[in-house]
Amino acid sequence: MSAQAPQHTIFISVGSNINREQHISAGLDAMYAAFGELTLSSVYESKSVGFDGNNFYNLVVQADTHLPINEVVEHLKKIETENLRTRESKKFAPRTLDLDLLTYDDVIIQTPMELPRPEILYNAFVLQPLAEIAPEVEHPLANKSYFSLWQQYDKSQQQLWPIKFTWSANRQ
C-alpha cells in the first residue's frame, strides 16, 4: 500500500469575457470535480487588458490537491478546452475561459511554466482577489503578504468592480 501523496495548496486565476457566467460556472464545476472543496474570491469585472474586447469577469480560486504540478496544469487545460477555449497565437484575445495556475505551495520554477505567475504582481484582477482570500499568505518571491502587496499596488492602473455572482458546488 503506497503512502498518501502530500497535500498542496494551489491558487488559480479564473477569467472569461465570452458568455462569462456560463463559462465561469462550468469551470468552477469542473475544478470542484477535479480538486474538491474550493475557496472563491469575489468575482470582479474589469476592462480587457492588452486588446479591445468585452469586459472580463475574474476571480481567484484556492484548492488543495495531491496532484503534481504538471497534472494540475493538464486538468486546467482540459477544462478550458471543454469550455471551447481556443489557443490563438495572440496572447491578448477574448477568452471563453482562462485558468492559470498562479502558485503551487511556495514552489519557484521557470520551466515547464513560471511559478509563481508574474501577473500576480502586476494585474489588479489577480492580486486583489488573491489578497481577499489569502491576505496573510506570502508571495514566494516578493516575501510580502498578498494583503500588503495589494495595499501597495497602484490602483489607478486598472479599475475593478465587484459583481454579484453566485455559484454553489451543491447545486443541482
Which has the closest alpha carbon to 54: 90, 16, 24, 91? 16
Neighbouring C-beta atoms of residue 85, cutoff 10 Å: 19
- List the chain pLDDT tens, one digit each, 172 residues: 456 778 999 999 999 998 999 999 999 999 999 999 999 999 999 987 766 778 999 999 999 999 999 999 999 999 998 886 565 644 555 778 999 999 999 999 998 789 999 999 999 999 999 999 999 999 999 999 999 999 999 999 888 999 999 998 765 4
Is the Cβ–Cβ distance between 58 and 125 less than 8 Å?
yes
pLDDT at 31: 96
Is the Cβ–Cβ distance between 100 and 12 less than 8 Å?
yes
Is the Cβ–Cβ distance between 121 and 142 less than 8 Å?
yes
pLDDT at 171: 52
Domain ranges of the chain: 8-162
In which residue are the cell numbers 468585452 written?
Answer: 54
pLDDT at 89: 44
Q: Which CATH number fits domain 8-162: 3.40.50.300, 3.10.310.40, 3.30.70.560, 3.10.20.30?
A: 3.30.70.560
